[in-house]
Structures are given as C-alpha cells and as structure tokens.
C-alpha cells in the first residue's frame, strides 16, 4: 500500500534567510539525483507498509519524523527516491493529482490547527465542504464522526472552550470524516497528559480495527508499551529498527518501483471491517 524506496529529503536555506528557515524542493529530482547543498532531513529511507497496519515512527527531535509524514501526504517532494501510495507514484504526480490522493488520507496535527472562529461542527465539516459534498451527507458524516470521538454533544461549541484533549478529538474527527484509508498523526499526544494520551491512542486503535492504516509519529515511548505495533525508528534522518521483516506485500508493491538496495521494513496486516463513521 505504501512504499518508500531510497527516499532522501534535503532542505536548503535560502540566501539571507533567518537561521532555521527551510525551502522545499518544488520539483522532485530524478532517481539517483540528490540536491547539491543543504542539510539532509532524511537519507535513503526505504520501507513498505501494508493496508490495515498500525505503525509508530519514533526518534529524537529533528530525526525526520514530521518530514517523513509530509512526504507521505504529498505536502512536500522528495529530493530523490520514489514514494508510492496504492500504485500511485507520489513523487511524480502533479499537485492537482496529489489533491485527489489526499482525500484518501486523514491528517492529525499536534497543534490541532482548528479554526477558532468556527464551531466544532464546522471544523469537522471542512474537508467535506472542500470536496463539495451534499449538505445532507455533510450533516450525517460530521454527526457520525463526532459521535465516534465522544463529542456528539459539543458540535455547537467553539474550540476555545474545549480542553486540550477535546480539541485533539476534534482534529481526529476532522481527519476521519472523509473516510480515509490512511490516518497520519504528527505527535498527536505531544501536548496532553498521560491519561488523555492513552484515550487518544484508543481512538486510533478503534479506527485501525475498522481497517484504517494508522501511522503515528511520536517521541512518547509510553504509547508503545501497552501493545505491540510496528515501529520505525529514525535517527539523524536514517532508518533504524530492531530487525528486518520479510516482504509480506504479496506482490502489491508497484511493478514500476525499482528494486531497493536497502532493507524493506514491513508492517503486519489487519483485516478490514465495516465503515467506521456510518
């Protein structure tokens, strides 16, 4: 379902820019070509994830976790290498095509990125409005999504009156309201206490049990203690893990993906289940 093949990402500081500012490459380089200057955020990353798997991306601050998620979501382009999502070569697609691909992905941000001048309902409805869904469908889907995250009675509330955990639940409801096949989360519990963090994790497990592929970038290792999940460890932009797993993609890897010269890390599959926001 998801394949990274020798992916690297290099950020270049623009002339005269403030220290730490980054500029993304607007166009992907051909395979084997690497940007000539700048600091590598990711270096030759290769792994495969199966549909329905539950995955953690861990590593120190600045290890490249957020960069990896942004590449997967098509929000940035790789400096080199190839990225595939359901046989779509993300590294080659035009922005207009990427927009359509992202409808199959839900993204949860650490800082929620809610619109504070809109109600909880309107925040969750935003992806459906952008997709030009019908009013009745928007109402039904938003109501179902809020019920799933335990906020059915907060639809009319404004974000500023919610707790941190409730705001994060709104972000999760917004991420799943379009019924994505993949749920990406960047430090979703970074601003929450341990109790709220495990409540949020239970929500992700609920959606995963319904067949959604979950990928969580986190530095909170306590989230990994309660149950075994696939774990990808990044260190200084390179992929480390406990040991290679045989390729279990059963031929699902795109035929036009070149054979990687590095280890493929593969997550265990989870069987699908009925729709999770009906």
pLDDT digits (tens, 9 = 90+) for 220-261: 777 776 567 888 999 999 998 733 333 334 434 454 444 443
- 15 vs 245, which has greater pLDDT? 15
CA distance 120 to 114: 9
| 178 band by pLDDT with thresholds 50, 70 and 90 | very high
Q: What is the mean pLDDT of residues 10-38?
A: 46
Q: Which of 27-36, 85-94, 125-134, 230-239 has the lowest mean pLDDT?
A: 27-36
Kindly tell me if the per-residue pLDDT of 153 is higher than 90. yes
pLDDT at 186: 93
CA distance 246 to 142: 40
Q: Of 8-22, 77-91, 189-203, give the range with the top mean pLDDT.
A: 77-91
pLDDT at 195: 83
User: Per residue in 103-131, pLDDT tens?
Assistant: 899 999 888 889 999 999 999 999 999 98
pTM: 0.79
Kindly tell me if the per-residue pLDDT of 15 is higher than 70. no
Provide the sign of the torsion angle of the four alpha carbons 244, 50, 29, 232, taken in this order.
Answer: negative
| 99 band by pLDDT with thresholds 50, 70 and 90 | confident
- 83 vs 109, which has greater pLDDT? 83
Domains belonging to the chain, first-starting first, are 2-104+180-240 (3.40.50.300)
Instruction: Kindly list the strands in the beta sheet with 80-85, ordered across the sheet, starting from the edge strand earlier in the chain.
Output: 39-49, 2-11, 80-85, 88-89
User: Per residue in 196-229, pLDDT tens?
Assistant: 888 889 999 999 999 999 999 988 777 776 567 8
CA distance 142 to 121: 7
pLDDT at 38: 72
Q: What is the mean pLDDT of residues 11-40?
A: 47
CA distance 261 to 264: 9
Distances in whole angstroms, Cα of residue 105 to Cα of each of 22, 29, 74, 240: 25, 24, 10, 25
pLDDT at 83: 95
Kindly tell me if the per-residue pLDDT of 183 is higher than 50. yes
């Amino acid at each position: 379902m998801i394949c990274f093949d020798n992916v690297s990402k290099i950020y270049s500081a623009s002339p005269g820019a403030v220290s730490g500012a980054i500029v993304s490459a607007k166009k992907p380089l051909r395979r084997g070509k690497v940007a000539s200057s700048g600091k590598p955020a990711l270096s030759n990353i290769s792994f495969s994830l199966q549909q329905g798997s539950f995955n953690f991306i861990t590593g120190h601050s600045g290890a490249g976790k957020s960069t990896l998620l942004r590449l997967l979501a098509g929000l940035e382009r790789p400096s080199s290498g190839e990225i595939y999502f359901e046989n779509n070569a993300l590294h080659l697609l035009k922005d207009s095509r990427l927009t359509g691909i992202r409808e199959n992905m839900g993204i949860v941000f650490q800082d929620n990125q809610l619109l504070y001048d809109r109600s909880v309902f309107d925040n969750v409805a935003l992806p459906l409005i952008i997709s030009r869904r019908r009013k009745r469908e928007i109402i039904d889907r938003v109501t179902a999504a809020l019920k799933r995250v335990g906020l059915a009675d907060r639809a009319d509330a404004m974000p500023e009156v919610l707790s941190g955990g409730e705001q994060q639940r709104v972000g999760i409801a917004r991420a799943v309201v379009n019924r994505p096949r993949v749920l990406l989360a960047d430090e979703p519990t970074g601003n929450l206490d341990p109790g709220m963090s495990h409540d949020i994790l239970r929500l992700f497990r609920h959606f995963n049990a319904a067949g959604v592929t979950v990928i969580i970038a986190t530095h909170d290792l306590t989230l990994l203690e309660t149950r075994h999940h696939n774990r990808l460890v990044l260190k200084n932009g390179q992929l480390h893990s406990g040991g290679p797993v045989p390729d279990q993609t059963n031929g699902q890897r795109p035929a036009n993906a070149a054979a990687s010269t590095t280890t493929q890390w593969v997550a265990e599959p989870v069987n699908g289940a009925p729709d999770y926001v009906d």
